[in-house]
């Protein structure tokens, strides 16, 4: 079938290891045609060339169709691999007529990257913003597209979505503040996020309450109301700073240097949900979107639902 390229790949995959056997069989069973054998080395050369070309696409399909691990964070890696693959074969004399229209169609779809895939890539602790920037540097070299504005836009959009999640799940941060912090390296991260900012806010709110007391004099009820207002303002400010530092702390921190297949993204977020209580909820929702069932339209609608229902 002309459209079942994956079937062609699988046929070639199982055929090529038995090249010698098939050659002997065909030569023995079929006479020469116009003085030439029915199966020649040129035929095998074409078969091997097509097999090598299709292998990248088949490998990507297998990885992105899995149901046992999140696939959304992986798609940009494979888009980059396929872009390089098409560039490599674009000047191949045997495949150029096929690859050039393929590359045009590829750029039509993937010159602009869907935000949902970008969020998933960034929420992989092995990538974050540092890896996201590097990926687009490599991608821009392959497709001559400038992603400078997109890099700024994606961080802004991620901040907007995170703010909506914080409105809904921010209570987890307040509950977590009264719990004992984890030990080891995670304690350092938590201390930077939750201890430094609140201490600054409490200091400034304390001086504000003192100023109100001295200006009001003996009106104790108004003093209590003003004090309560100041405390509420300080608490709001503290929550806002904590929310901002949670996202920034993740995006700007060092990446996790574990690039083997044994790394489990969902397990990592589960282990760090105390450090990133709101962001872990966002990551969980983004990671559950399977690449194999998402199209451009559904990706945009899913992103819209995340923004609206976050």
What CA–CA distance (Å, rounded) separates 289 from 299?
9
Average pLDDT over residues 194-209: 34
The pLDDT > 90 percentage for the chain reads 43
2-25, pLDDT tens digit by residue? 778 889 999 999 999 999 999 899
| Coil vs helix vs strand at 33 | strand
Mean pLDDT is lowest, of 112-126, 210-224, 254-268, 281-295, for 210-224
What CA–CA distance (Å, rounded) separates 52 from 88?
12
Mean pLDDT is lowest, of 137-141, 170-174, 220-224, 233-237, for 220-224
Task: Report pTM.
Answer: 0.69
Average pLDDT over residues 116-126: 93
pLDDT at 81 over 60: yes
Q: Which of 79-88, 138-147, 294-303 has the highest mean pLDDT?
A: 79-88
* Mean pLDDT over the full length of the chain: 75
What's the pLDDT at 269? 95
Q: pLDDT class for 112, splitting at 50, 70, 90?
A: confident
| Residue matched to tokens 């290891």 | 17
What's the pLDDT at 148? 85
The four Cα atoms 25, 27, 33, 38 give a dihedral, to 10 degrees, of 60
Are the CB atoms for 12 and 55 separated by under 8 Å?
no
| Coil vs helix vs strand at 92 | coil
What CA–CA distance (Å, rounded) separates 80 from 298?
22
What's the pLDDT at 281? 93
Tokens of 135: 């990926």
The pLDDT > 70 percentage for the chain reads 70
pLDDT at 306 over 60: no
Closest CA to 268 of 259, 278, 280: 280
Tokens of 126: 């092995």
Are the CB atoms for 194 and 242 separated by under 8 Å?
yes
Cα angle for residues 32, 38, 42 (degrees, 5° grid): 125
Average pLDDT over residues 253-273: 87
Cα angle for residues 216, 219, 221 (degrees, 5° grid): 120
Q: pLDDT class for 284, splitting at 50, 70, 90?
A: very high
What's the pLDDT at 113? 85
In this predicted model, which residue has the larger pLDDT, 194 or 238?
A: 238
């Amino acid at each position: 079938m002309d459209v079942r390229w994956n079937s062609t790949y699988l046929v070639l995959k199982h055929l090529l290891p038995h090249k010698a056997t098939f050659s002997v069989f065909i030569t023995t069973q079929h006479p020469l045609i116009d003085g030439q054998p029915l199966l020649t080395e040129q035929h095998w050369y074409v078969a091997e060339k097509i097999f090598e070309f299709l292998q990248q696409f088949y490998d990507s399909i297998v990885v992105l169709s899995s149901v046992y691990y999140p696939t959304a964070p992986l798609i940009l890696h494979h888009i980059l691999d396929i872009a390089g693959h098409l560039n490599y074969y674009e000047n191949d004399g045997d495949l150029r007529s096929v690859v050039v229209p393929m590359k045009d169609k590829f750029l039509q779809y993937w010159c602009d990257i869907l935000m949902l895939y970008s969020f998933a890539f960034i929420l992989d602790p092995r990538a974050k913003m540092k890896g996201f920037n590097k990926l687009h540097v490599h991608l821009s070299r392959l497709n001559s597209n400038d992603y400078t504005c997109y890099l700024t836009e994606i961080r802004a959009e991620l901040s907007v979505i995170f703010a909506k999640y914080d409105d809904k799940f921010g209570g987890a941060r307040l509950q977590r503040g009264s719990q004992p912090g984890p030990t080891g390296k995670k304690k350092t991260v938590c201390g930077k996020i939750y201890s430094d900012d609140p201490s600054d806010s409490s200091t400034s709110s304390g001086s504000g309450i003192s100023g109100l007391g001295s200006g009001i004099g003996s009106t104790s009820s108004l003093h209590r109301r003003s004090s309560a207002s100041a405390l509420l303002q300080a608490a709001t400010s503290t929550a806002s700073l904590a929310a901002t530092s949670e996202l920034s702390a993740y995006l700007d921190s060092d990446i996790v240097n574990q690039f083997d297949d044994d790394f489990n993204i969902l397990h990592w977020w589960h282990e760090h949900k105390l450090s990133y209580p709101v962001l872990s909820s966002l990551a969980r929702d983004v990671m559950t979107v399977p690449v194999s069932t998402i199209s451009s339209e559904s990706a945009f609608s899913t992103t819209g639902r995340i923004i609206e229902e976050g």
